[in-house]
Amino acid sequence: MTIRWDHASLAVTDLDSAIAFFCNGLGFKVTFVERDMSHQIASVLGVPGATCDLAQLVLPGQFPKLELIAFRAGDERARPLRPSAPGMGHVALRATDFDQRLQHLIEIGARPVGQVTDFSDGRSVYLATSFGAFLELEEDLSAQPDTQADLMT
Looking at residue 100, its amino acid is Q
Topology, domain 1-73: 2,3-Dihydroxybiphenyl 1,2-Dioxygenase; domain 1 (3.10.180)
- The residues spanned by each domain of the chain are 1-73, 89-153
User: What mean pLDDT is predicted for residues 22-37?
Assistant: 96
CATH of region 89-153:
3.10.180.10
| pLDDT at residue 153, rounded to an integer | 44
Entry pTM: 0.78
Strand partners, 124: 117, 138
State how far Cα 3 lies from the chain centre: 23
51-61: per-residue pLDDT in tens?
999 999 999 99
pLDDT, tens only, 43-95: 887 888 889 999 999 999 998 899 999 988 755 555 556 776 666 788 999 99
Segment (H or E) for 139: strand 134-139
Q: How many other CB atoms sit within 10 Å of the CB of residue 11?
A: 21
Amino acid of residue 89: G
Q: Residue 120: left (phi > 0), alpha (psi -120 to 50), or beta?
A: alpha
Domains 1-73 and 89-153 share a fold: yes
